[in-house]
Amino acid sequence: MRRDHEIDYVIHGEEMQCVEIELDPQETVIAESGSFMFMDEGIEMATVFGDGSGRAQGFFGKLMTAGKRLLTGESLFMTTFTNIVVGKQKVTFAAPYAGKIVALDLMQYGGKIVCQKDAFLCAAKGVEVGIEFQQKLGTGLFGGEGFIMQKLEGDGMAFVHAGGYILERELAVGETLRVDTGCIVAFTQRVDYDIQFVKGIRNMVFGGEGLFFAQLRGPGKVWLQSLPVSRLAARILQYGVGRGKEEGSVLGRLGNVLDGDGF
C-alpha cells in the first residue's frame, strides 16, 4: 500500500512539454513555484513552508525542510494543489525550458531517486524533496553537480525535467558508464557516482570536454540529458556577444580569427 497520494497523469507535447495531473477528491499534488500552467475550478492552491510533503512535524521540522531546499537553490516555499470537490479535477504544470518530463514511480525504485538540483517539477503529496550530499571531495568539486543534489523519497509519483532528449540506461552490477559532467539527470540509490580523469594530454587540452568524466557504476538505473541548460545558456551567450564557434578547445581562438572575429 502506498502512503503517498495516488495520482493519474498524462504528459503532453514533444520539445516543450507539460504534465496534466488528475486528482481524485482530497488528493494533492506539490509543485515548484512557477511551474503551474492551469487548473480546473475545483482545485484549491496553497503555498506552504518547506517541501510540502506533510511529513515534517512542527515548526522546527518545517524549518529543516525549508533550509534543505534553500541549499539546493530552490524557494523556501512549495505550492500545493488539492481537489476540494466531489468529482475528478485536473491541474497542469509546464516545463521551464525545452526538454523532456520524466515520470518516476518511486515505489519501483526502492523509494529514493537522486537527481540534479533543478530537476524536480512536481509530485504526489507525501513525496519528500530533500538534499543528497556528495561525500567524495573530487566528485563534489569536479562532478558537475556540486556537493549537493536533490533527493526524492517516498512511494508516490514524482516528475523531473531536463534539457534535450532523456536517455535511460539500466546498469548491471559493476557496469560503468562515463558521462559528460553536465549530462546526469538522475539515478537510483544503488548507483555509485564518482569522477574519472580524461586520459591523454591532447584530449585534456584540445578535446573540449574538460579534465573529468562523471562515472556511474551499477547496479541501478540512470537518466541522462542530451542538452544541459548550462550548455544551452553558454551557447546562447557565446553567439549573442558575437563570438565564433569555439567548441570548448584552445583551437577555437584560431577559428575566430579565420572567421574574421579576431581574438
Walk along the chain (263 residues) and give the pLDDT tens digit of each residue: 778 889 999 999 988 899 999 999 999 999 988 889 999 999 999 988 766 665 555 555 555 555 555 555 556 678 899 999 999 999 999 988 888 999 999 999 999 999 888 889 999 998 988 887 665 544 445 444 455 788 899 999 999 999 889 999 999 999 999 888 788 899 999 999 887 756 545 444 444 455 677 889 989 999 999 888 777 776 777 776 655 444 444 455 454 443 445 44
> Structural domain tally of the chain?
1
Query: Residue 92 has which C-alpha cell?
Result: 497542469
User: Is 206 inside any structural domain?
Assistant: yes
Strand partners, 196: 213
CB under 8 Å to 223, separation ≥6 — which residues?
102, 115, 160, 162, 166, 167, 168, 184, 185, 186, 187
- What's 223's domain CATH number? 3.60.160.10
28-56 in b/e burial notation, b at 16+ Cβ within 10 A? Answer: bbbbbeebbeebbebbeeeebebbbbbbb
202 burial via Cβ count (<10 Å: 0-12, 13-18, 19+): exposed
Q: Which helix (H) or strand (E) holds 139?
A: helix 137-142
What residues make up the domain containing 16?
Answer: 8-235
Query: Residue 34 has which C-alpha cell?
Result: 512557477
User: Is 242 inside any structural domain?
Assistant: no
Strand 112-115 with 18-23, pairing: unpaired
How many C-beta atoms lie closer than 10 Å to residue 220's C-beta? Answer: 21
* pLDDT score at 57: 55
Q: What is the Cα–Cα distance from 27 to 109, expressed in whole angstroms? A: 23
User: Is 254 inside any structural domain?
Assistant: no
* pLDDT score at 26: 93
DSSP at 201: H
CB 122 within 8 A of CB 31: yes
User: Is 251 inside any structural domain?
Assistant: no
User: Is 81 inside any structural domain?
Assistant: yes
CB 238 within 8 A of CB 183: no
- Look up the pTM and report it: 0.75
CB 42 within 8 A of CB 124: no
* pLDDT score at 71: 56
Within 5-94, where are the H helices? 58-71
Chain position carrying cell 556537493: 147
Q: Which SS3 state, helix, strand or coil, does residue 20 take?
A: strand
* pLDDT score at 124: 94
User: Is 257 inside any structural domain?
Assistant: no
* pLDDT score at 80: 92
Q: What is the Cα–Cα distance from 118 to 74, expressed in whole angstroms? A: 8
User: Is 248 inside any structural domain?
Assistant: no
